[in-house]
Amino acid sequence: MANFIDDFMKTYGDEVVTQMAANTGLDQKTVQSLIPKLTPLILGGLKKQKDERGGDARVDHILNKYGDPSVLDNIEDLISSKTHDSTADANLGGLLGDDGGVQAARALGKSLNIDASAIMKMIPSLAPIVLGALSKKKATAPGGIGGIGSLLDANGDGSIIDDVAGYILKGTAGKQTRGKNILGSILGSMLKNK
């Protein structure tokens, strides 16, 4: 997961940060810090789908349906469209559970002292870009979809809760104890097996 996020930020980060800041009202530094926290949330939703609803084939289906790599060619229009779409869903149509995206946005907003509604706009804007990048990676990755499936669990222990929590809490020093309890609860309910 770490390598994917690093590669994502190196390849698409500058444009995504610029466009997200322009369309959400957040400053670029804040957006720059949020993207590596929100990306694992999206990957965590995919991991849950993989574990509970059909393995690698389920991830492949989601990427084929929602991960069009062509969005990477026009990030500006995608972000502008998604951030101004009043029907855009921060829970990504259930990928993040019934309200995992909303709860994560509220917890991050509180932890970082920023408007949660701006984060809620970022999630559905960022998701197609992340999924598009994964689809592009799938086409060239050793192991194809199996390689993508293994990258969803950063440390290979089969549990993504600690992986996602680690990324979300990274860089929120001084607020980790309070934030960890809130985010741990959200991630636990969103990603645990029911």
The whole-number pLDDT of residue 147 equals 64
The whole-number pLDDT of residue 40 equals 87
The whole-number pLDDT of residue 100 equals 86
d(CA 186, CA 177): 14
The whole-number pLDDT of residue 188 equals 54
The whole-number pLDDT of residue 154 equals 53
Domain boundaries, the chain: 2-191
Closest Cα to residue 148, out of 64, 88, 70?
64
- Could you tell me where the DSSP H helices lie in the chain? 2-24, 28-52, 55-66, 75-83, 100-112, 116-140, 145-151, 161-169, 176-191
d(CA 156, CA 139): 22
The whole-number pLDDT of residue 157 equals 47
d(CA 188, CA 186): 5
Mean pLDDT for back-to-back runs of 10 residues, the chain (194 residues): 85 96 96 92 87 86 91 96 93 87 90 92 96 88 65 53 50 46 52 46
